[in-house]
Amino acid sequence: MAVGNWVKVANVSDVPDEAGYRVEIDGYPVAIWNVGGEICATQDSCTHEETSLSDGDLWDDVVECPLHGAQFNVRTGAVLSLPAIFPLKTFPVKVEDDAIYLELKD
Ligand code: FES
């Protein structure tokens, strides 16, 4: 059974209110989201044509892709509107003091 490991990726103070913050983990882009104080993490690449979602607008827990307007729930990764049809990968998050950790599976 694969055992996850927790990796520090950012500080809470790095993540703007109600916007995305892009980090790269071993070359894989991840977006960190601050949804009213709750930290969430998803893949940063839109599942339509791989635009960076952290450049999009966030309303509550919904981000809109800046290229063609697909919308995703950043808590669940669910796709909410076309043209994207595939959900986002999400990551378990924990926050200790100001540090944000993601759980990465082996
Ligand atoms: S690249 Fe995101 S909707 Fe097309």
The domain locations on the chain are 5-104
How far, in Å, from the CA of 37 to the mean position of ligand 1? 26
**Residue 1 scores a pLDDT above 70:** no
Looking at residues 55-62, what average pLDDT do you find?
A: 93
Superfamily of domain 5-104: Rieske [2Fe-2S] iron-sulphur domain (2.102.10.10)
How far, in Å, from the CA of 69 to the mean position of ligand 1? 6
- C-alpha atoms less than 13 angstroms from C-alpha of 46 in its C-beta half-sphere: 25
Q: pLDDT averaged over the chain? A: 92
What is the per-residue pLDDT for 106? 60
**What's the length of the chain?**
106
How far, in Å, from the CA of 98 to the mean position of ligand 1? 32
Ligand 1: lining residues by beta carbon, under 6 Å: 46, 48-49, 51, 65, 67-70, 83-84
Residue nearest to atom 1 of ligand 1 (CA): 49
What is the per-residue pLDDT for 76? 97
Percent of the chain with pLDDT over 90: 84
Looking at residues 33-61, what average pLDDT do you find?
A: 94
CB–CB of 84/70 below 8 Å? yes
Residue 46, both tokens: 């839109």
Return d(Cα 103, Cα 23) in angstroms, integer: 14
